[in-house]
A and B are shown apart, each in its own frame.
Chain A
Amino acid sequence: MGWLRTCALELARPLLWLDVGATLARVLVGVALATALGWVLGLALGRNARLWRVAEPLVDFLRAIPPVLAFPVCLVLFGYTEQARVAAIVFGTTGIVLLHVANGVARAPSARRDTARLAGLRGLALVWRVDVFEALPALFLGLRLALTAGLVIAVVSEMLVGAEHGLGARALDALIAYRSDLLGLVVLLAGGTGFALSALVAAVERRVVHWQR
């Protein structure tokens, strides 16, 4: 009961919600940029088998680098700024989106593209009217995974280098102060944030990708 009371008290204060907001903002900005980048690159690579064969080893290599290791590099590049945290999230999640989009487009039934080509669609019109839609189911799957990975990177980056706000920073404070009750609450909030993001994407996916139901 004591822990529940602590939770209620902490949740009534604005500090923890500022932490949730700060972490959420970093994740959303980072993953949004990664999604835009991964979508465009995934479409280009998924439709060009030769290009994909050339790019795949590089994509795999970059994906194999732990984003936590990339964060210090981002600090060197961007300094102790928000951009460094966001850049680490972009680095760690672009490959996830890219890989899913490229696979989704490459594995789409060729008959649909044939129909569009026979209808006279070419170039960007073909990409916009067909490939973008073919990529959507895979994009949403990649997005859900990217949000989870983005949350991990955001929290770790907040723990590594002092952030004023963020769930990682609050967890570290709780650890240093031997506040296991607060630490437990932060863990629950991080889990809840990830769960809510995933549920939101799943709900949007059900509406947008209606033909997969």
Chain B
Amino acid sequence: MSSPADPRPPAAVEPAVELGDVHAAPCLLGFALRVAEGERVALVGPNGVGKTTLLRLVAKLLRPARGEVRASDSVGYVPQDYRASFLPWLRADRNVLLALEARGALDAAARARLDALLDALGVDRASLAKYPQTLSGGQQQLLALARALVGRPRLLLLDEPFSALDAAHRALARTVVVEASRQTGATLLLVSHDLEDVAAVAERVVALDGRPARITTDAPTASVATAPLARLAAGSLEET
């Protein structure tokens, strides 16, 4: 069991994401975490600590061997291997709109929302007519973000979502993600090794370390200075 002494949010508040005594070998054994509705949380820590596994559990792409995972089924997910997540037999626009099409919710409003999103992310509309694998890594990552956001999900799970972006697009994408969460009240879990991403997007930082993973720090982003944040990302800071 690795939750901190003062788990956030308070128990009285119904959490948007709750993991209780979760076992998903080998990195998560008896892991617990609560995230409040609308909260933006960054998960940081060294490679292999279990951050991606955690997101996949919350997305219900993995089933824990033991324990309970409670989270909304309305999920927008940008996986770490975003390139492999596109269906290469569909053009980019059909990939981005796949969830809306599957739900029968693909209407003019959704298309307008996508247009606005693409403008905000600085994506060339022409890329929508191409097959994803013909686009650059950065373009694919922007489309993966658009795909995650366009359905206005209750839960945003972003696994290093800005890693392939240049500085200009990275800044745009951070703003779009924060705005999307604010406007829709979506809960956001961000995995990132980039501390500027964490500072720009998250309001709470959860640092993981060890094997099995335990939470070494759980604090508001604003209360964690840049230097300790760097050590958090490396998993070397025990407590703030």
Contacts and interface: CB of A to CB of B under 8 A. Distances in A.
A interacts with B? yes
A52 interface: no
B61 A120 contact: no
Interface in A107-123: 109, 111-112, 114-121
B99 A112 contact: no
Nearest to B62: A114
Interface size, A (range): 10 to 19
Contact of A119 (B88, B102, B131): B102
A111 B102 contact: no
Contacts of A119: 98-99, 101-102
Contacts of A129: 87, 102
B67 to A, nearest CB: 21
B130 to A, nearest CB: 12
A118 B77 CA distance: 8
Contact of A118 (B59, B86, B101, B131): B59
Contacts of B88: 211
A109 B133 CA distance: 14
A199 interface: no
A111 B103 contact: no
Contacts, number: 51
A41 interface: no
Contact of B75 (A111, A118, A121, A211): A118
B161 interface: no
A123 to B, nearest CB: 12
Nearest to A211: B88
B65 interface: no
B196 interface: no
Contacts of A114: 59, 61, 77, 79, 85
A111 B85 contact: yes
A109 B84 CA distance: 7
Interface string B82-99: 001111110000010011
15 contacts: A109-B81, A111-B81, A112-B85, A112-B86, A112-B87, A114-B59, A114-B79, A115-B95, A118-B75, A119-B99, A120-B103, A121-B98, A133-B89, A211-B89, A211-B133
Interface of B: 59, 61, 75, 77, 79, 81, 84-89, 95, 98-99, 101-103, 131, 133
